[in-house]
Amino acid sequence: MQPNYLSQPQAYQTWRAFKLSNYPKEVGLLIVNINNPIKILDEECNLLLKICAKTNIVIYRTNNDQTDVKRSISALTQQLGLKELDANICADEDRISTIQDLGSDRASYIPYTNKPLNWHTDGYYNGDTQRIRAFLMHCVRPAESGGENAYLDPEIAYILLRDENPNYIDALMDASVMTIPANEQAGRQIRAAQTGPVFFVDEESQSISMRYTARKRSIIWKNDKTVEHALAFLHEILQGNPYLFRYRLSAGEGVISNNVLHNRSAITDSSSADEKRLLYRARFYNRVKKCDEEQDLQDVVNQ
């Protein structure tokens, strides 16, 4: 069951206009300077929440104090309402993952290599009870070159697809459209197969969310012409559109998002182990808390 703002044409047009009005087109407009992530100032917090309410993504910049980065990450995310940390199989004990090139022979998953990462949302292979609704990536040390990310807000992807052909939305909201086969390693099942939609409305927040991967292997798409065309159009807009953000995190910077679509370019690392790119990543089952601007949106749509 879709909320009014999607199912009723007038409400949808109102929401769409509100969403696109003053949408930031420069990645620099997403950046917020933070003096102390352990205790952020009210104005810093408000700005972080306001930007995230608009675009589902915000970039923060700290003074790169490296004394206890993980503690800073925990404190910062808690102040933004992110509490339910995911514990994936590659996360450290504190549920924060250390993302670094482990070499192709040691790494089972591409994030832990220097290869490029295709477009995806985090946890697209997870079931509903472990749905990733937000993530943080914090850069301790950038690569010598590469490691740039591109980001696209799922609500913008929805609008662009619906503008092109509303049938594309129906096709990608179909509950059987995308299946990720079970993850089996050495004859043992680590995760069961997952079937579900690409676009869905998150019950808690009533926000358009996505599960998606552009990978070609280990994914089964529903055999349907409209699905095929919708995916081709999605692929096209991911190659470039006015709402796409590209950014390469510097040391002390991080990104917080309501699990927007993202990719990563290939990485060229230093040959010295202690100069290799180092990122921390935290994933959450809940979203960044709402700010007043989201209430304004609700008021507009409910009028």
Which region among 18-26, 63-71, 122-130, 138-146 touches Fe ion (by CB under 5 A)?
Answer: 122-130
Which region among 39-47, 53-61, 115-123, 165-173 touches Fe ion (by CB under 5 A)?
Answer: 115-123
Host H or E run for residue 170: helix 166-172
The residue (of 55 and 259) whose beta carbon lies closer to Fe ion is 259
Closest of 232, 239, 247, 54 to residue 156, by C-alpha: 54
Which region among 33-41, 118-126, 190-198, 218-226 touches Fe ion (by CB under 5 A)?
Answer: 118-126
Q: How far is the CB of 119 from Fe ion (least distance, A)?
A: 10
User: Helices (H) and strands (E) in the chain — how many of each?
Assistant: 8, 19
The encoded tokens of residue 240 equal 């470039």
The residue (of 101 and 122) whose beta carbon lies closer to Fe ion is 122
Q: How far is the CB of 147 from Fe ion (least distance, A)?
A: 13
Residues pairing with 291 in the sheet: none
**What is the SS3 assignment for 196?**
strand
The residue (of 16 and 215) whose beta carbon lies closer to Fe ion is 215
Q: Are strands 134-141 and 278-284 parallel, antiparallel or unpaired?
A: antiparallel
Q: How far is the CB of 11 from Fe ion (least distance, A)?
A: 32
Which region among 116-124, 142-150, 188-196, 197-205 touches Fe ion (by CB under 5 A)?
Answer: 116-124
Position 170: which residue type? D
Q: Interface residues for Fe ion in 41-80 (CB under 5 A)?
A: none
Which region among 97-105, 121-129, 166-174, 229-237 touches Fe ion (by CB under 5 A)?
Answer: 121-129
Q: How far is the CB of 219 from Fe ion (least distance, A)?
A: 16
User: Exposed/middle/buried for 287, CB within 10 Å: 0-12, 13-18, 19+?
Assistant: buried
Residues pairing with 176 in the sheet: none
Based on the shown chain and the rule CB under 5 A, indicate whether residue 122 belongs to the binding site for Fe ion.
yes
User: Exposed/middle/buried for 96, CB within 10 Å: 0-12, 13-18, 19+?
Assistant: buried
Q: How far is the CB of 212 from Fe ion (least distance, A)?
A: 11
Answer yes or no: are the C-beta atoms of 259 and 121 closer than 8 Å.
Answer: yes
Q: x/- site string to Fe ion, residues 73 to 112, per CB under 5 A?
A: ----------------------------------------
Residues in contact with Fe ion by the rule CB under 5 A: 122
